[in-house]
Amino acid sequence: MKLTQKHTIKDLTIIVVSASILFVQQLALSFIPNVQFSVLLVILYTKILGFKKTSLIIIIHVLAVNLLSPMGPVVPTLIPAMFIAWMLIPILLSTLLKHVHSAIWLSVFGFVYGFIYGWVFIPFTVWFLDVPFLPYLIWDIPFEIIMAISNMISILWLYDPLKKAFVQQLEHISESTKKMPSATS
Amino acid sequence: MKPLHLKIILTIVVLLLGYLIIDVVFDRNLIHEAGEIELIIVDEHQEIVYHNILPYEKDQTFFDLLNQKFTLMCANRFYNPDSTCSYEFNIMGQSNYVILGIKSDTFEIMTDWSKTFIKIEVYDGEKFIQATQGFNHLDISNFEKIRLIVDAPR
């Protein structure tokens, strides 16, 4: 039986490299709370790689952040919240916002998502960690605003050039893959 | 309007909006008159090791009050004990000491941050609830009682 594994290996490599970039930039910027390029990258991955691959990248990212972060693991009860929050991006961009492609509108989505990300954690924090609801809601607002602004500005200015560079790299990888001989088993 | 101009305008607007909300709405200046607060300290065995009413001065922070009354062991940037309390953690422009231990002539509590920590609870008039601010920014004039408990993360 002849099996072509080129695409599988190529896809796996792209997923792993994309997840690594996501993880490393988040760690590199973790000294500034809620300032990162994660939302920009997840939006970019969703728009270019699609829902399935982005979902796998998010699974790897959530696991990596919780297992390998030098700052220690996140509280285990918050892992589902983190996973749901990140998965909202590919879900929304593959359904309701499927036809949104402009950097300006995606940056508006990134701004709103800054608040949504914070709100997803609220029920988990309140129920599992017994944190009072209202003070938590109020004191999380500055962090949500910082994330919203960071998302909006990063998407506004970096989405288009990153998309161009990423698409070029993917095309380059596709051409290289075509030249490779098919793997057989 | 050209996309570039729109991007510049959106960037300026969003930065101004964020600055206004965080700096103006969330005013963090701690201003209060002199008063007194009931302080309860509970050790790792859930025994009350200190229970007293402490007077505080105008605009004095909770950290300053504790530092004045007790010998404190703070955390350095690596969360290791530092008796000089020379390091303040800075998050979004808010400086905060992390206190690992409190010592007096009659008692001593010590935590290691990873397995145990000092939980701050404030009395809301009916019951003790977890404080949402740390030692530097907790407005002691808003509460009658504060309880410090050696607790373990869940």
> DSSP label at A183?
P
Q: Does A59 touch chain B (CB under 8 A)?
A: no
Do residue A146 and residue B22 have CB atoms under 8 angstroms apart?
Answer: yes
Token code pair at residue A24: 């490393």
pLDDT of B70 over the 90 cut? yes
Token code pair at residue A119: 């709100």
Query: Which one of A150, A156, A157, A159 would you mutate to disrupt binding with B, by most B Cβ within 10 Å of its Cβ?
Result: A156
Distance from CA of B15 to the nearest CA of A (A): 7
Do residue A153 and residue B15 have CB atoms under 8 angstroms apart?
Answer: yes
CA dist B81 → A53, B91, B95 (Å): 45, 20, 18
Q: Does B142 touch chain A (CB under 8 A)?
A: no
Residues A11-69 pLDDT 10s? 899 999 999 999 999 888 877 777 889 999 999 999 999 999 999 999 999 999 888 76
CA B32 to chain centre: 16
Do residue B129 and residue A132 have CB atoms under 8 angstroms apart?
Answer: yes
pLDDT at residue A1 in the model: 40
* CA A52 – CA A59 distance, rounded (Å): 11
- Stated pTM of the model: 0.70
Which residues, numbered 149 to 168 in chain A, qualify as contacts with chain B under a Cβ-Cβ cut-off of 8 Å? 149, 152-153, 156-157
pLDDT at residue A176 in the model: 80
Max alpha carbon distance in chain A (Å)? 63
Do residue B21 and residue A146 have CB atoms under 8 angstroms apart?
Answer: no
Q: Which contacts (CB < 8 Å, 24+ apart) does range B121-124 have?
A: B121/B146, B121/B147, B121/B148, B121/B149, B122/B146, B122/B147, B123/B38, B123/B147
Residue of A nearest to B23 (CA): A142
Residues B116-129 pLDDT 10s? 999 999 998 889 99
pLDDT at residue B42 in the model: 96
> Comparing A66 with A167, which gets the higher pLDDT?
A167
CA angle (A169 as vertex; A22, A47 as ends), nearest 5? 60
Query: Which one of B1, B6, B7 would you mutate to disrupt binding with A, by most A Cβ within 10 Å of its Cβ?
Result: B7
Which 3-state string (H, E, C) describes chain B?
Answer: CCHHHHHHHHHHHHHHHHHHHHHHHCCCCCCCCCEEEEEEEECCCCCEEEEEEEEECCCCCHHHHHHHHCEEEEECCCCCEECCCCCCEEECCEEECCEEEEECCCCEEECCCCCCEEEEEEECCCCEEECCCCCCCCCHHHCCEEEEEEECCC
- For residues B65-94, one letter each, b for 16 or more C-beta atoms within 10 angstroms of the residue's C-beta and e for the rest, the string is bbbebbebbbbeeebeebeebebebeeeee
